[in-house]
Amino acid sequence: MNKKAQFGFSSPVTFNIFTFIIFSFLVVVFFGGLIWAMGLINDTLHDVGVANEVNAGKVGYTNMTLAAEQIFGQQAEAIKALRMVSIVYILGLATCIIITNAFVRKSPIWFFAYILISILAVIFAPPISNAYETLLASGIYDGGLTAFGASNFILLNLPAIVLVISILGGLLLFVNLVRGGGEDMNL
């Protein structure tokens, strides 16, 4: 039997909830940083263009304010769409975890281990949620994280969200809705 490129751990599906917790936090913080950095670049280049206006009418003058507005001003507005991308990413990751659990066949013997890992994930979620709440309160990125409405809701209520995803994933994982006849279960 060819086992190349197969992960040797017996139950990687159960640890996907930790990936969800960590990536949800990182996506919002990273995207918030990108939005803030692009706004900072836009403001700086606009200020440079305003400072260059003293050369208006001279040979070699370039309207840098107009150039900065047309290029970096448009980018600064367009990158704000990452707020929506963050919630789509978070919800998509949660949906993938639940759907993946529906298509994986596991023996009922793993139910207790799944419950323990899910409880551990629910216990791990409050410190992440509290850390995010501290970031929001600190005004990082000039308060830009407050504009991530739905993502903020998910991260501030992360323990409840993790519990729901774990329960739905566990139900679909152990009910074995999608199963062919006469096949052995993975132990």
What are the beta bridge partners of residue 106?
Answer: 186
Chain-centroid distance, C-alpha 135: 16
pLDDT at 90: 95
pLDDT at 57: 79
Residues of the chain under the 70 pLDDT cut: 1-14, 176-187
- Sheet strands (E) in 34-94: none
pLDDT at 65: 87
pLDDT at 7: 47
Q: Domain ranges in the chain?
A: 13-54+62-175
pLDDT at 2: 53
Q: Is 186 helix (H, G, I), strand (E, B) or coil?
A: strand
pLDDT at 9: 45
Taking only the tens place, the pLDDT of each residue in 50-65 is 888 888 878 878 888 8
pLDDT at 11: 47
Question: Could you give the count of Cα atoms lying within 13 Å of 181 in the half-sphere of its Cβ?
Answer: 0
pLDDT at 54: 82
Q: How far is it, in rounded angstroms, from Cα 178 to Cα 156?
A: 34
The answer to whether 106 and 10 have CB atoms below 8 angstroms apart is no
Phi, psi of 3 (to 5 degrees): -110, 25
pLDDT at 62: 81
pLDDT at 1: 55
